A and B are shown apart, each in its own frame.
Chain A
Amino acid sequence: MTKTLAIALNTFKEAVRNRVLYVLLFFSVLILFGAWLASTLSIERPERIVRDLGVAAINIISGLIAVFVGIGLVYNDLDKKTIYTVVSKPISRWQFLVGKYIGLLGTILVNVLIMTWVFCTVLHLRDAFTDEATNQAIYRQLESGAYEYKGALAHLGYVATSIIGAVLKGAANILSLGFYSTPITEGLFLASVLTMLEMMVIVSFAVLFSSFSTPTLSAFLTAFVWVIGKGNQELYLLAQSLMKKAGGTTETMDASQELIYHFAKFSAHIAPNLELFNQRPQIADFAPVVVSPMALAYGIVYSAGIIAISVLIFERRNFK
């Protein structure tokens, strides 16, 4: 176990020294602030927009990290032959692969937590800088009923304390594992937990593909599984509606319909059902977010299965 963790820790170190990771993190921060900006364009219920956009951004950026940082991790070891000296040490090949998986998952976990923290901070800032809150803080009402500006210093003080407060409150959201939350950050921690479950599955595919193919092909295949997995329920519905239209048999379909029907049905069955981890409608509607035992079990069992297949491939291959 300590050996697997040593591999995991080294994988984490490798990932955090990868420049791509920081580019993606930088983008996530831009998008999260952009979500705030976008919400100001909304006439009705801007909170809906900001929460939905933010959770989607965290989900997509995590997926991109899994694809672009994850793919290189196993392949680089094979390509640069660093694996020679690792595997000739008294560890088994499965320990190496599982270590890589845990390391990459750890990297994504840290990133998801950072992004969630930034997001919560953005939301707290948004609360602090509404016109109402700001005016209340920087104007004082005189006895005559008129308002007086408290001065630039007081204004600056308010801005500074709000920023510090927002950062601290954001941290509290994360550190309390979501138990502390204000109305606007309600359920966001659980949404990130669901994103992590989704990443467990995606990263296991990244490890599977990169254990036998090139980085470009693995990136493509992993991204493919991810996209199909997200649209998997729609694909299934598409197949069903095609079948219904055709009157319950493929014989009455024309060639293109039949092709689409089979593709949709095949993809829907083979790809993981990532919709299980999607509760963005609940997030947008401020409805309670639930991590169902079904989602938890699905994530764990599915990724364990994929990792087991990767190990079977990896145990038998020659290292070039």
Chain B
Amino acid sequence: MSTVISMQGLSKVYVQDVLGFEHGRLKIRLKNRRRVALQNLTLDVAKGEIFGLLGPNGAGKTTTLKILMGLHFATAGTATIMGRPVGDNAVKERIGYLPENPHFYDYLTGVEFLTFYAQLYGMSGAGRKRRIEELMSTVGLGHALDLPLRGYSKGMIQRIGLAQSLLNDPEIVFLDEPQSGLDPFGRKEVRDLILSLKEQGKTVFFSSHILSDAEQICDRVAILHKGECIAVGPLTDLLSAKTKEYEVAFSDPAEALLDDARRRAARFVQRKNEYLAVFTQEADARDILKGLADGKGHLMGFTPRKETLEEYFIREIEGKRALESGNGRNAQL
């Protein structure tokens, strides 16, 4: 597998000059406010994979994408796309980009807008017209060709944003929070679209804080927290493969079974005559299931649960936070 996106020690520090103001004896001075948005990020993305850049808000996901798109300049480190430096026009010819919460020229109609962007790729004539119509129907906007963008809903803007990122039939598609602001139905469509891009052999690099969406489609992920990369790898490696919890749902239990279940369960929920018990040990679940099989109640459902990305995420970030506060305390002592 060849590497198509490579980042070496990428860092970004925003320096803002703020006019400081003190009232007593009136002092005005210029302060430098430094904010580290990204710290020493080293990542390689292989051709044809779906790569997810995950993390909470303010983790540095958008900054990473902006640097890759040549919108921001890295303070340190280098980034290359397909072996060329970012911001190179030859690179831009072969990639597509959808920013987070995109805004477009809202006085243009859908077709005018895509025509304008297609001109920036140097596309012209009948091929351009065909491509635009094809894309509009792919993203489900076939009915809104001549509607000005100011009449578009948020979901429709997101869709036309996807369409503009695919105009040039790119080899790599960069999507910043492609599913934010979409309803569950729209989220599924975006997911399907990303998967179909992979089928066409394209590389997809996207950021998200909606972990469940990433979980279902990513080949590999990187997890960012406060500008630092805290984990990279295939999801199966990051998440513990073994089953973590067993959920047993049942109703009308015998008194003994109910007591037994209540005593052994890590969590226990009752709703009228229905019960949900969550066990951490396989043996516990097995015993209760056996009792139910012996007629001491009705089995309603059984689900072995693996660790989700969500849980991994919380575990990693909380571990990090605990470490930081621990360090802080040590420093104070």
The answer to whether A84 touches B122 (Cβ under 8 A) is: no
A85 to B105, CA, bound (A): 11
The residue that B89 contacts in the complex, of A7, A92, A316, with Cβ under 8 A, is A92
A85 to B116, CA, bound (A): 12
Chain B residue numbers with a CB within 8 Å of A13 are 107-108
The answer to whether B107 touches A318 (Cβ under 8 A) is: no
Nearest CB of chain B from residue A272's CB, rounded to whole Å: 30
Nearest CB of chain A from residue B131's CB, rounded to whole Å: 15
Pick from A13, A90, A91 the residue with the most CB of B within 10 Å: A90
A40 to B122, CA, bound (A): 56
Given A3-B122, A6-B120, A14-B107: A88 and B102 interface contact (C-beta under 8 Å): no
Nearest CB of chain A from residue B33's CB, rounded to whole Å: 15
Given A2-B122, A10-B105, A81-B99: A88 and B117 interface contact (C-beta under 8 Å): no
Q: Which residues of B30-88 have CB atoms within 8 Å of chain A's CB atoms?
A: 66, 69-73
The answer to whether A82 touches B105 (Cβ under 8 A) is: yes
For A87, the closest partner residue in chain B by CB is B71
The answer to whether B103 touches A80 (Cβ under 8 A) is: yes
Chain A residue numbers with a CB within 8 Å of B73 are 316, 318
Given A2-B119, A3-B122, A6-B120: A88 and B104 interface contact (C-beta under 8 Å): no
Chain B residue numbers with a CB within 8 Å of A9 are 116
Interface string of B95-114 (1 = CB under 8 A from A): 10111001111011000000
Nearest CB of chain A from residue B122's CB, rounded to whole Å: 7
A13 to B116, CA, bound (A): 11
A17 to B112, CA, bound (A): 14
A156 to B161, CA, bound (A): 58
Closest 10 CB pairs of A and B: A6-B119, A89-B120, A90-B92, A88-B97, A318-B72, A80-B103, A84-B99, A90-B89, A88-B69, A90-B93
Binding site for B on A (CB under 8 A): 2-3, 6-7, 9-10, 13-14, 17, 80-82, 84-92, 316, 318-319
Q: 19 A-B contacts, Cβ less than 8 Å apart?
A: A2-B122, A3-B120, A13-B107, A17-B107, A80-B103, A81-B103, A84-B97, A84-B102, A85-B99, A85-B102, A86-B120, A87-B69, A87-B70, A88-B70, A89-B92, A89-B120, A90-B89, A90-B122, A318-B73
Known: A3-B119, A88-B70, A319-B66. 19 other contacts (CB 8 A): A7-B120, A10-B108, A82-B105, A85-B97, A85-B98, A85-B161, A86-B120, A88-B69, A88-B95, A88-B97, A89-B117, A89-B121, A90-B89, A90-B90, A90-B122, A91-B89, A91-B92, A318-B71, A318-B73
